[in-house]
Structure 1
Amino acid sequence: MKVGLYFGSFNPIHIGHLIIANTLYDRTDLDEVWFVVSPQNPFKKQQSLVHEFDRLRMVELAIADHFHFRASDVEFRMPKPSYTIDTLTYLNEQHPQHQFVLFLGSDNLTHFKKWKNYEAILGHYELLVYPRPGEAITWEHPKVKTIDAPLLDISATFIRKSIQEGYSVKYLLPEKVEEYILDKKLYH
C-alpha cells in the first residue's frame, strides 16, 4: 500500500490541512493518507501547543468521514523533538509492506536542507510538494514531485489568536473540531 504521510502539529487541524490532504490523495496514486501528529517539532516552540492527545483527537474528529485518512500517534512514543527521518525509519520497521511518501509545503521545502539526514530522506522517499503563498518551488530532484493544489493561506496561528480574542472561526475548522475546542476551552 502507498501511504502519504502528512506531518504536522495540527494545532489545531483546519480546513486548509484537509483540502491539501484531499487534493494530494485525489491527484496521486496514494492508497491512504496518515496525519502524523507531532508532539514537538524541532523548529517550533512547544509552549503554544495544546496537549498532543487533544491535537490527535481533533485530527480524528476532522477526518472521521474520510475512509482513506488515518490519524497517527506514532511520534508520541518516540524521543522528543520529533525528527522525520527517525519516524520514517520506525514506520518502515513496523510496516515493511507499505511504501511511504512525504507531503511537504513549498515553505518547508525551502528549509529542507536543515532537516536531520535530509539526504537519506531524499534517497529513499518521494516528496509530494504543494504550493504555499510566497514560496516558489525551485527544487529539481527526481524524488521531488510538485502537485497542483489550491494556494491556501490559512494559519493555525490566526485561528488560535481569533479564538483567544473571541472571534468566530466558523468555516476555518471542521464543525466537530470547533465544538471540541469550545467544549475543552482550548486556546483561551
Structure 2
Amino acid sequence: MRYDIPYAAPGQVIGLLGGSFDPAHEGHAHITREALKRFGLDAVWWLVSPGNPLKTRGPAPMAARIEQAQAVINHPQVTVTGIEERLGTRYTAQTIAALQALYPRARFVWLMGADNLAQFHMWQDWKRIAETVPMGILARPGQRISARMSRAATLYAPYRILGRNSQLLAQAHAPAWCFVNVPMKDVSSSAIRASGAWSA
C-alpha cells in the first residue's frame, strides 16, 4: 500500500514522533500538543512504524493503525504518515538520515517520552541519533528519575537545554536535548490492547 510523502516547507521545524501506534491514544495526542507548544515546532509528524525492533510481537496492520491515529489526532499542525514503510527504513537512525536527505531544507527534532530516554542506549546507533538531531523529551508517568539517570542523559548532560528554555530547542544544533515536565495522562497502548478495546 502506498503512503503519501508529507509536505515540508523550506525552513520548517518538524517534530518526529515515532512508534507502532498500536493503537494511537490520547496520551500520544497530549504529548504532541505539548511538544508543539513547548519546543516551538511548526509541525509534528507521527511516524507509524512497520514494526518495533525491540518488540517481539508484530503490530496490527499498518492501514488500521494509521486510520486509528488519524481519528485520535485532528490538528492542523500534525500529520500521520507511514513514510518509514515507503522509505524501507527499520531503525530510527536510518529514518532520520533518509528524511534529512529527502527534506534537506527542513529541520527535524526527535520527540520521545521519558520512558524511551531511559532505554535509549539500547537503540540501534543511538549516539548517531543524539548527534544528528535535537531531541525533545516529555515526562511520562513513573519515568522521570530513570530517564534523568539514564546512560544517554548522563553522556549528553553538557548539551541539555533547561526546561524553562525549551523554546530554544527547535533552533539548536545537535547534540541538544530538553526534558520538560508536562501534565501527564497515564494511558498506554499495551493497556488498551490488554483490555480488549483495540483489535484490527
Residue of structure 1 aligned with 2:84, choices 67, 75, 79:
75
Q: Is the 8 A contact 2:141 2:185 kept in 1?
A: yes
Distance 1:14 1:38, change over 3 A: same
Q: Is 1:16 the equivalent of 2:27?
A: yes
Which residue number corresponds to residue 127 of structure 1?
135
Residue of structure 2 aligned with 1:151, choices 184, 197, 200:
184
Q: Deviations over 1:158-185 (max 9, x none)?
A: 1122226xxxxxxxxxxxxxxxx6xxxx
Which residue number corresponds to residue 61 of structure 1?
71
Partner SS for 1:145: strand
Q: Distance in 2 between matches of 1:141 and 1:12?
A: 36
Which runs of structure 2 are paired with 1:168-187 in the superposition (5 Å)?
A: 186=199
Which residue number corresponds to residue 38 of structure 2?
27
The unaligned stretches of length 5 or more in structure 1 are 165-180
The unaligned stretches of length 5 or more in structure 2 are 1-11, 160-175
Partner SS for 1:77: helix
Q: Is 1:161 the equivalent of 2:194?
A: yes
Question: How many equivalent pairs are there?
Answer: 164
1:67 maps to a residue whose letter is P
Q: Is the 8 A contact 1:24 1:149 kept in 2?
A: no
Q: Distance in 1 between matches of 2:48 and 2:57?
A: 14
1:61 maps to a residue whose letter is A
Residue of structure 1 aligned with 2:101, choices 93, 103, 115:
93
Q: Distance in 2 between matches of 1:160 and 1:141?
A: 39
2:13 maps to a residue whose letter is K
Deviation at 1:61, TM superposition (A): 2.2
Q: Distance in 2 between matches of 1:42 and 1:120?
A: 17
Q: Is the 8 A contact 2:13 2:41 kept in 1?
A: yes
Distance 1:154 1:141, change over 3 A: farther
Which residue number corresponds to residue 3 of structure 2?
none
Q: Deviations over 1:75-122 (max 9, x none)?
A: 112446x20000001111111111000111111111111211111111
Q: Distance in 2 between matches of 1:41 and 1:131?
A: 21
1:39 maps to a residue whose letter is P
Which residue number corresponds to residue 9 of structure 2?
none
Which residue number corresponds to residue 169 of structure 1?
none
Q: Distance in 1 between matches of 2:193 and 2:108?
A: 31
1:50 maps to a residue whose letter is A
Scaled by the length of structure 2, what TM-score is found?
0.76
Which runs of structure 2 are paired with 1:108-127 in the superposition (5 Å)?
A: 108-127=116-135
Partner SS for 1:87: helix
Residue of structure 2 aligned with 1:3, choices 14, 30, 35:
14
Q: Is the 8 A contact 1:5 1:103 kept in 2?
A: yes
